[in-house]
Amino acid sequence: MKRIVIGLLLFLLAAPSLSLAAEERDRDTARQIDALMNEALAKYHIPGASLAVVHHGQTVYQESWGTMSDGSAVTADTTFLIGSVSKPLTALAMMMLAEEGKLKLDEPIETYLPWFTYQTDSGKSITVRHLLEQTSGIGAYDGMKVMDRQDRDREKGIAQAAAELSGVKLSHAPGEAYEYNSGNYLLLGAIVEAVSGQSFSAIMDTRIFSPLGMNHTSADYESAVSKGFVPGYRSWFGKPVKGDGLYDRSGAPYGYMSSSSADLTKFIKFMLYGGELISEQGLKQLRTPPESNRRYGLGWHFPRSGEKYPYHTGATPLAAVHYARARSGRCFIDE
């Protein structure tokens, strides 16, 4: 009994110093991040930025700098176009629909888009999984021809752009080679609409954004503007100038969702620890590296060598690169 009391006393005496040491370590880490960001903001003439770091399920760093193009101060809730960080969110929607039995990942895409055609010398069909893993055989140049456009219809933009891609000649047999191409995720967006009977933005809002509490995240222009989205900047000879507000109404599945650093931390935490949206098995599939040493899984990049963790970066033609990261840097899941 005496040993227990002595042990407890020693612990109580040591606990304050341990707590102070941890606090000092956290402050030192924050100072290093502050220094790194201030250096980057100055070096690259970045007018506004927001950074959040998640570690062991907690947001351990949250800071914002500068202003938006309308002069408003950047905060944790400021909305930015997140570029290709949209792709992991689209992949999550596909996994949800697959678990509900509305689609199968290894089913040919013509099952869901019977009007979409492609030319190939192979007898293989493009599957939903091929689109997710960027191995459909659709060339990056062909995808670029139908994206980043402002002339899309508000209601039918995704189907319109997908129809323009129809008839494409494949550069590889489906499943044969990795070739990063946002056109793959455009087609996934069209599949979401086809199997759900709803708009892509409605599915994302009601099934993912709202349940996760991502209240400043949108998958359509009107909703984004209502949540504070303003045109970003572009670089002109290394200096930031206000952009013209390019927004592709067909682009949400691959690069035109808008979100905030605070909202992306909620998505990161879901990817780390799960929730009610999908099963543990479904979440595991999203986080599993692809086979055959390929670099892209179900909506996520993976390092070519070393530790295999999922990550994603994103940019749009007239927007700065945006990152969301669990621990420090890109949209990065490693806990």
Tens of pLDDT, residue by residue over 97-134, are 999 999 999 999 999 999 999 999 988 999 999 999 99
Q: Per CATH, which fold does 44-103+198-332 belong to? A: Beta-lactamase (3.40.710)
Single-letter amino acid, residue 85:
V
Neighbour count for residue 223 (Cβ, 10 Å):
18
Q: How far apart are CA 221 and CA 202, in angstroms?
A: 12
- pLDDT computed for residue 80 by the predictor: 94
Q: How far apart are CA 153 and CA 229, in angstroms?
A: 20
Residues in the chain predicted with pLDDT less than 50, given as ranges, are 1-2, 10, 319-335
Cβ 166 vs Cβ 160: under 8 Å = no
Q: How far apart are CA 69 and CA 73, in angstroms?
A: 10
- pLDDT computed for residue 293 by the predictor: 75
Q: What are the φ and ψ backbone dihedral angles of 249, each rounded to 5 degrees?
A: -70, -10
How many angstroms separate the Cα of 200 from the Cα of each of 6, 203, 206, 281? 63, 5, 10, 24
Q: How far apart are CA 91 and CA 246, in angstroms?
A: 24
